[in-house]
Amino acid sequence: MEFETRIAIRVFLFLLPFFIIVGRLIYITPSTNSPPIATSEFLQTHGSLMIFLGSGGHTGEMLKILSNVDVSNVTRTWIVSSNDTTSLLKCEEFERSVESPHSPRFLTLHRARSVGEPLISSAKNTVISFYDTFRQIYSLPELPSVLLINGPGTSVPIAYILFVFKFLGLGRTSIVYVESLARVNELSLSGKLVLPVADRFIVQWKPLSLKYKRAEYHGILV
Amino acid sequence: MKLLITTGATVTFKKLISFTITEFIQPCIDLGFDEVYIQYGNEIDNGQHLSKEFINQCLEGVINYQLTSLEGEFLLERGGKSIKLIFFPFSNNLSKYIQASDIIISHGGTGTIIDILKYSKPLLVVYNEELMGNHQKEIAEEFTNLNYCINVSSENLDEEQITSKVKKLITNEVKLSEYESNSGKVIQGIIYHEINRVKS
Query: Alpha-carbon distance A165 to A169, whole Å?
Result: 6
CB contact under 8 A, A39 and B190: yes
- Region B117-138: mean pLDDT is 91
Please report the pLDDT score of residue A125 as a whole number.
Answer: 77
Please report the pLDDT score of residue A194 as a whole number.
Answer: 95
The topology under which CATH files domain B2-199 is Rossmann fold (3.40.50)
Please report the pLDDT score of residue A113 as a whole number.
Answer: 55
Closest CA to B27 of B140, B144, B129, B165: B165
Alpha carbon B178 to its chain's center: 18
CB contact under 8 A, B200 and A219: no
Nearest-CB residue to B194 (from A178, A181, A199): A199
Q: Any CB–CB contact under 8 A between B111 and chain A? A: yes
**Residue A189 backbone phi and psi in degrees, to 5:** -60, -45
Residue-wise pLDDT tens digits, A56-78: 889 999 999 999 899 999 999 99
Alpha carbon B2 to its chain's center: 13
Please report the pLDDT score of residue A121 as a whole number.
Answer: 74
Least confident residue range of B84-88, B133-137, B149-153: B133-137
Query: Alpha-carbon distance A132 to B107, whole Å?
Result: 38
Closest CA to A145 of A37, A30, A24, A45: A45
Is A136 within 8 Å of A52 (Cβ atoms)? Answer: no
Q: Å from B76 to nearest chain A CA?
A: 35
Please report the pLDDT score of residue A137 as a whole number.
Answer: 92
Please report the pLDDT score of residue B85 as a whole number.
Answer: 97
Instruction: Give, to the nearest 10 degrees, the angle between helix B136-145 and helix B110-118.
Output: 30
A75: nearest CA partner in chain B: B195
ipTM above 0.85, yes or no: yes
Please calculate the CA angle A170-A172-A177 and round it to the nearest 5 degrees. 130
Nearest-CB residue to B195 (from A47, A64, A66): A47
Residue A174: its chain B contacts at CB < 8 A?
194-195, 197-198
Pairing mode, if any, of strands B72-78 and B81-88? antiparallel
Q: Å from A200 to nearest chain B CA?
A: 8
Q: Exposed, middle or buried, A179 (CB in 10 Å: 0-12/13-18/19+)?
A: buried
Please report the pLDDT score of residue A34 as a whole number.
Answer: 67
Candidates B114, B151, B177, B190, partner chain A, best to mutate (most A CBs within 10 A): B190
Please report the pLDDT score of residue B200 as a whole number.
Answer: 82
Residue-wise pLDDT tens digits, A20-37: 999 999 888 887 776 667
Please calculate the CA angle B176-A57-A115 and round it to the nearest 5 degrees. 145
Residue A39: its chain B contacts at CB < 8 A?
186, 189-190, 192-193
Please report the pLDDT score of residue B152 as a whole number.
Answer: 96
Please report the pLDDT score of residue A30 as a whole number.
Answer: 85
Alpha carbon A55 to its chain's center: 16
Q: Å from B160 to nearest chain A CA?
A: 30
Phi and psi based region of residue A215 (left: phi greater than 0; alpha: psi -120 to 50; beta: remaining): beta
B136: nearest CA partner in chain A: A182
- pLDDT exceeds 80 at position A51: yes
**pLDDT confidence bin for B76, thresholds 50/70/90:** very high
Q: Any CB–CB contact under 8 A between B110 and chain A? A: yes
Query: Alpha-carbon distance A50 to A76, whole Å?
Result: 6
Query: Alpha-carbon distance A90 to A52, whole Å?
Result: 13
Please report the pLDDT score of residue A114 as a whole number.
Answer: 57
Nearest-CB residue to B188 (from A38, A69, A145): A69
CB contact under 8 A, A49 and B110: no
Amino acid, single-letter form, for residue A157: P
Please report the pLDDT score of residue A112 as a whole number.
Answer: 54
pTM recorded for the entire structure? 0.87
Instruction: Give, to the nearest 10 degrees, the angle between helix A85-96 and helix A56-66.
Output: 10
Percentage of the residues of chain A whose pLDDT score is greater than 70: 95
Nearest-CB residue to A174 (from B10, B184, B197): B197
Please report the pLDDT score of residue A88 as a whole number.
Answer: 93
Residue-wise pLDDT tens digits, A116-139: 667 677 778 778 888 888 999 999
Residue-wise pLDDT tens digits, A194-221: 999 999 999 999 999 999 989 999 999 9
Is B12 within 8 Å of B45 (Cβ atoms)? Answer: no
**pLDDT confidence bin for A115, thresholds 50/70/90:** low
Q: Å from A5 to nearest chain B CA?
A: 44
